[in-house]
Amino acid sequence: MGITARGLGLLVAAVVLLGMGFRFAYPELTLLGAAAGAAVGYAALVAAWRPRLTVTRRADPDRVARGEPANMTVTVRNTGRLRSANLLAEDRCGKRTVPVPLLRVRPGRDTEVRYEVPTHRRGVVPVGPLRVTRRDPLGLVALARPYGETTPVWVHPRIHPLTAVPTGAGRSLDGRVDGVPHGSITFDSLREYVVGDELRRVHWRTSARVGELMVRENVDTSLPRLVVLLDNRAVAHPQRVDGVAESFESACEAAASVVTAAHRADLPVLLLLVGPELVERGDGDADASPAPLDRLAAAELSDDDDALRAATTRLRQDRLGDTLVVLTGPGGRDELGHVGALRGAYPSVVVGVFGAAEPTPPGAAGLVVVDAADGAQFAAEWDGVRRW
């Protein structure tokens, strides 16, 4: 509960008048002081009454690309029996507030307001909760309460069409990569039987020798797999414009473009971030993995400068695919040696460098390097690559 300047002045006057009236035996001053104190007490009781309101929000749509329009519709319904008068409300939308008219909402009626959600920047825009302020008729006390939950609007990076998608390297029937999809006809290894395995996959000769059921594990060695590694270290994107690292925004657009192109070509793709990430699924399903574009919308710069070495070590050990796409900024060019060391595990390695003042020297660490100022230029340079 917050007392206004007018209420504070009246409360001070009530204390002074009561003190003067009792001290010097002036009943008139005592009466005025009591009236002033009663007015403040009445205002506190009126403001403390909590109206019964139900707030619902509907984002249309809740996931958009950067720069595309998105609207939020807020509906406030009075579920009480009394008319809610003298209410002021504002809805939080990102870093700004939107006024919501709520004066004299009749019981069982609702009021609706529709406004645009800012999508000029990539990110997750939190909308809500609705902040309703209850005031007394004299304007002495104001009490603000939150209503409703927060609804996120996911602003994805811009997607630039890519016509070329790496199709992987030629492999023998036994495969060159360990992390390939399982379930095809090419033999890979033997493992213990688990409930649900098909009996036709049991290798009876080995099972008789070891004394327990062993099952053939097959893999698909013909399907290429892309791995996109986004460098989200702050040291890799040192330049800021109004507090925003434009090179990182361009790298996010490139990552979104590659992931989308791979999905359209029905190719498996894996998105990884160098630094730690904290993202929750927008629909409240905590067990499901967030979509790649949602992860890119929530991606932020990390202060872990040594994360690249740990990420490359994991990539070398796990061998998650056959084509590796690394996206970094001008600060990451000095560490391309760690990426070049992955060429033994990944037949094709492509590096995208964004926002560098000078082009990367040709043949740096033996990699295919694409220098670009932004996502659109990256798409044009990407389609011009002749070898993967």
Environment class of residue 369 by beta-carbon count within 10 Å: exposed (0-12), middle (13-18) or buried (19+)?
A: buried
* Whether residue 278 has pLDDT greater than 80: no
SS3 call for 179: coil
Mean pLDDT of the chain, nearest integer: 85
pLDDT band at 177 (very low <50, low <70, confident <90, very high): very low
3-state secondary structure of 4: coil
Tens of pLDDT, residue by residue over 50-97, are 888 899 999 999 999 999 999 999 998 888 877 766 678 899 998 889
Band (pLDDT 50/70/90 cuts) for residue 14 is very high
pLDDT band for position 250 (50/70/90)?
A: very high
Mean pLDDT (whole number) for 289-318: 90
| Burial of residue 259 (number of CB atoms within 10 Å: 0-12, 13-18, 19+) | buried
Could you give the angle at which helices 27-48 and 5-24 cross, rounded to 10 degrees?
A: 150
- DSSP label of 302: B
Q: Whole-angstrom Cα distance, residue 84 to residue 69? A: 33
Predicted confidence at residue 290, as pLDDT, reads 75
Select the more confidently predicted residue: 71 or 218: 71
| Choice among 33-47, 64-78, 280-294, 328-342 with the minimum mean pLDDT | 280-294
Taking alpha carbons only, the member of 110, 100, 58 closest to residue 80 is: 110
Tell me the pLDDT band of 186, cut-offs 50, 70 and 90: low
Q: What is the pTM of this model?
A: 0.77
CA atoms within 13 A on the CB side of 36: 20
Tell me, what's the pLDDT at 365? 62
Q: What average pLDDT does this structure show over 175-183?
A: 44
Q: Taking residues 215-230, what's their average pLDDT?
A: 76
Cα separation values, 3 from 130, 134, 145, 197, Å: 21, 12, 14, 70
Binned at pLDDT 50, 70 and 90, residue 295 comes out as very high
Confidence label for 165 from pLDDT (cuts 50, 70 and 90)? confident
Q: For residue range 331-371, what is the model confidence (pLDDT) as tens digits? A: 998 888 889 888 888 888 999 999 988 888 766 666 888 99
Report how far residue 105's alpha carbon sits from residue 335's, in angstroms, rounded to the nearest whole number.
62
Whether the Cβ atoms of residue 327 and residue 230 lie closer than 8 Å to each other: yes
Quote the pLDDT of residue 85: 60
Please give the pLDDT value at position 179. 42
- 75: closest CA among 148, 13, 126, 171? 148
Higher pLDDT, 376 or 218: 376
Neighbours of 277 (CB within 10 A): 16
Please, is 169 exposed, middle or buried when counting C-beta atoms within 10 Å of its C-beta (0-12, 13-18, 19+)? middle
Residue recorded with tokens 């992987």? 168
Q: What is the pLDDT of residue 100?
A: 84
Which is more confident, 222 or 147? 147
